[in-house]
Amino acid sequence: MMKNENDMLNLVLARLSVMPEHIAIRFGDKSEELDKEQLILHVKKQDEIGKRFVRLQMDYIKAAIRGFA
Amino acid sequence: MTKRLLITRPNHDVILSYIHFWNNDVIQLAKDKGFQVKDLEGKQADKEILEEYLEKQQPVLIFLNGHGNSTTICGHDNKPLVDVEQNVKLLKSSIVHALSCNSSEILGEAAVKAGAGAYLGYTLPFSIVTDKSSECKPGKDRLAELFKEPALEAPKNLVKGRTVGEAYAKAKKRYKEAILSFSLSNSPLEAEYIRFALFSNMQAFDLKCNDSDACAW
């Protein structure tokens, strides 16, 4: 794995570590709810959901830096 | 001339129950605007029922709510309702809004090629943030409710007679306003994840059409 990818994973995991416990994300194509613990597992495993979540997080972070312009 | 709206809204799981509930507002607005509404809710969100209706009627607006993927939108129990290989041609001459995951890229493109006036949908999964203590209570979950208005902005504007281009632009603007409203210093603890899911939906929202001035009126 490239260092850059490791950095991205670590950044996303750090962000997930402060996700409030009482909330969950539901993706419309999956029936399960994804709370903090489950998202961390998916990201660490780098399965389909984990990869998708990292990709979306990176898009989000880049857009946030631009002020969502 | 009668303006017809067909809406599908299965409600057999949590996220669908929220979307089913949200669309009560769209149906009421459509009735107020003079539309004859065919509401295929719950078990009525069935391929045979949909096909029978679309073969006899030509609704100017079709609002599809349900699980989906790049080629298919599902109805009750996630059984295929509209599929790119089977019945996409039934969407011809209608303006379609799909609150469904991933359907815009392939199904949306095929719908427009088959003659649909436009297809507004999502290129990625539609996502919401929920409060685990309020789940399964549509209308009571303060977090999930934050996703309602941006998601309904386009269908509501289509019902109001706005062009597909206008409805698309207004929905994108509504998403952006919602994102920025959670960027304030007094935003709640959950703000980061609400912003994230709203951003994901905004980015995924897509318009396929040959004429952005197409409208329902």
Question: Would A1 be classed as within a structural domain?
Answer: yes
Sign of CA dihedral A59, A18, A53, B175: negative
Domain region containing A57:
1-9+34-69
Query: Helix B148-159 to helix B164-181 angle, to the nearest 10 degrees?
Result: 160
Total count of domains within chain A: 1
Task: Give CA separation, B32 vs B35, B153, B205, in Å.
Answer: 7, 17, 27
Strands annotated E in chain A: 23-27, 34-35
The pLDDT value recorded for residue A1 is 47
Residues in chain B within 8 Å Cβ distance of A60: 195-196, 199-200
- SS3 category, B182: coil
| Token duo for residue A58 | 């990176």
The pLDDT value recorded for residue A29 is 74
Question: Would A58 be classed as within a structural domain?
Answer: yes
Contact B98, B155 (CB under 8 A): no
Q: How confident is the model at residue A10 (pLDDT cuts 50, 70, 90)?
A: very high
Question: Would A16 be classed as within a structural domain?
Answer: no
Question: Would A51 be classed as within a structural domain?
Answer: yes
What are B50-89's pLDDT values in tens digits? 999 999 999 999 999 999 999 999 999 999 999 999 999 9
Contact B199, A60 (CB under 8 A): yes
d(CA A21, CA A36): 6
Task: Flag whether pLDDT at A55 surpasses 70.
Answer: yes
Question: Would A29 be classed as within a structural domain?
Answer: no
Contact B132, A33 (CB under 8 A): yes
Question: Would A64 be classed as within a structural domain?
Answer: yes
Residues in chain B within 8 Å Cβ distance of A68: 176, 179-180, 199
Question: Would A39 be classed as within a structural domain?
Answer: yes
Closest chain B CA to residue A22: B132
d(CA B16, CA B73): 13
| Token duo for residue B9 | 């809204």
Question: pTM for this structure?
Answer: 0.94
Of B107, B7, B120, nearest to B64 by C-alpha is B7
d(CA A40, CA A22): 15
Contact B9, B39 (CB under 8 A): yes
Region at B201 (left for phi over 0; alpha for psi -120 to 50; beta for the rest): alpha
**CB pair distance less than 8 Å for B125 and A27:** yes
pLDDT under 70 in chain B at which residues?
Answer: 135-136, 185
Collect all residues from B whose CB is shorter than 8 A from any CB in A: 13-15, 67-69, 100-102, 124-133, 135, 143, 176, 179-180, 189-190, 192-193, 195-197, 199-200, 203
d(CA B172, CA B202): 6
d(CA B207, CA B96): 10
Question: Would A48 be classed as within a structural domain?
Answer: yes
